[in-house]
Amino acid sequence: MGIFTKNRTSNIGLDVSSTAVKLLEFGKELVDNEPRYRILNYAVVPLPTNAIVEKSVADVEAVMQAIESALEKTKVRTKHAVVAVAGSSVINKVISLPPSLTRTELDAQIHIAVEQHIPYPLNEVRFDYDILGPSDHSEELMDVLIVASRKETVDSLMQAVEGAGLECEVVDIEAYAVERAAQLLDFSSFGVNPSVIAMADIGATTMTLDVLQDGRAIYTREQNFGGSMLTEQIQSRYGMSKEEAGAAKKLGGLPEDYEMELLSPFKDSLVQQTYQVAWLMWF
């Protein structure tokens, strides 16, 4: 069943990053008899330092309060939230199994595979699986994707979301969420229909590059590079606090030499980092 039901008109997407909670309320409507998503509300609320540590929620109370603040800003009424955990905190494994297995037999085989391939005790992980279809290696088998994450990583995120009064409708994985979002992109207005696309997510401290071929992710890589580096340079050069530098970066009002001395070199570094990550894909 999808995240939209007959009586539900919107859902909340939550992105909990290292520096902020981003809330997006999105709805679904028919355009020319085809479903289209639309943005209804959004809010960004900063998080205190160390609320998120190594892509996991370390301070549940701080994240919960940030979500509550975002809900207050947007005045959304729906309680159904979709969240995702970082790909770096997830272990993926594709196994091949006979398609004739019953659901009970399939579940038993998945448990065995998790015990074999996941380097944590079974009671310390959350895991799920998805049947991908016929195996590329044998017509008599099907491929099954298994994903697993430490229980504390998933549970702390859910605790913050549910503590703010929401329901975790879906706990996804960032890379697969990007994959599905990319399938909704329409390039026809540009006169192209590319089979391979690259999507770069530039956060505060990490840049993630996802390469998709025919709508399926074939490569994901993270690089330690992000917008906080530019913020730190603004702080140092103009004697600002972190908060002042972050606000000036977004809203403007910096001295005339900012673009030439700081912004342009940062853009050049961004291009170099993107090229470096893409280059590594081929080797």
**Which pLDDT score, from 0 to 100, does residue 196 have?**
84
Looking at 151, 175, 205, which one is the last position of a domain?
A: 151
Residue showing tokens 């160390």: 50
Is the residue at 102 inside a domain?
yes
pLDDT band at 280 (very low <50, low <70, confident <90, very high): low
Q: What is the pLDDT of residues 174-197, one digit of tens each?
A: 888 888 888 877 777 777 778 888
**Taking CA 116 as the corner, what is the angle to CA 111 and CA 122, rounded to the nearest 5 degrees?**
50
Beta strands (DSSP E) in the chain are: 10-16, 20-31, 34-46, 52-53, 56-57, 80-85, 90-97, 125-134, 142-150, 167-173, 196-202, 207-213, 216-223
- Considering 8-22, 74-88, 146-160, the range whose residues carry the highest mean pLDDT is 146-160
Residue 251's region, left for phi above 0, alpha for psi from -120 to 50, else beta, is alpha
**87: burial class by Cβ within 10 Å (0-12, 13-18, 19+)?**
buried
Domain count, the chain: 2
Question: What type of residue is 243?
Answer: E
Is the residue at 23 inside a domain?
no
Select the more confidently predicted residue: 239 or 281: 239
Residue 236: is its pLDDT beyond 60? yes
Looking at 98, 130, 151, which one is the last position of a domain?
A: 151
CB 226 within 8 A of CB 208: no
Residue 154: is its pLDDT beyond 50? yes
pLDDT band at 1 (very low <50, low <70, confident <90, very high): very low
CB 98 within 8 A of CB 142: yes
Is the residue at 142 inside a domain?
yes
Q: CATH number for the domain including 259? A: 3.30.420.40
**Which pLDDT score, from 0 to 100, does residue 2 have?**
55
Looking at 151, 174, 196, which one is the last position of a domain?
A: 151
Indicate if 147 and 189 belong to the same structural domain.
no
**Which pLDDT score, from 0 to 100, does residue 261 have?**
95
Q: What is the pLDDT of residues 11-52, one digit of tens each?
A: 899 999 888 999 999 888 777 777 778 899 999 999 998 899
CB 210 within 8 A of CB 220: yes
Residue-number span of the structural domain to which 224 is assigned: 185-283
Indicate if 278 and 197 belong to the same structural domain.
yes
Indicate if 127 and 194 belong to the same structural domain.
no
CB 255 within 8 A of CB 238: yes
Q: How far apart are CA 16 and CA 50, in angstroms?
A: 13
Is the residue at 143 inside a domain?
yes
Is the residue at 237 inside a domain?
yes
Q: How far apart are CA 109 and CA 94, in angstroms?
A: 13
pLDDT band at 3 (very low <50, low <70, confident <90, very high): low
Q: What is the pLDDT of residues 46-71, one digit of tens each?
A: 999 889 988 889 999 999 999 999 99
Is the residue at 283 inside a domain?
yes
Is the residue at 14 inside a domain?
no
Q: How far apart are CA 114 and CA 227, in angstroms?
A: 37
Is the residue at 70 inside a domain?
no
Indicate if 256 and 195 belong to the same structural domain.
yes
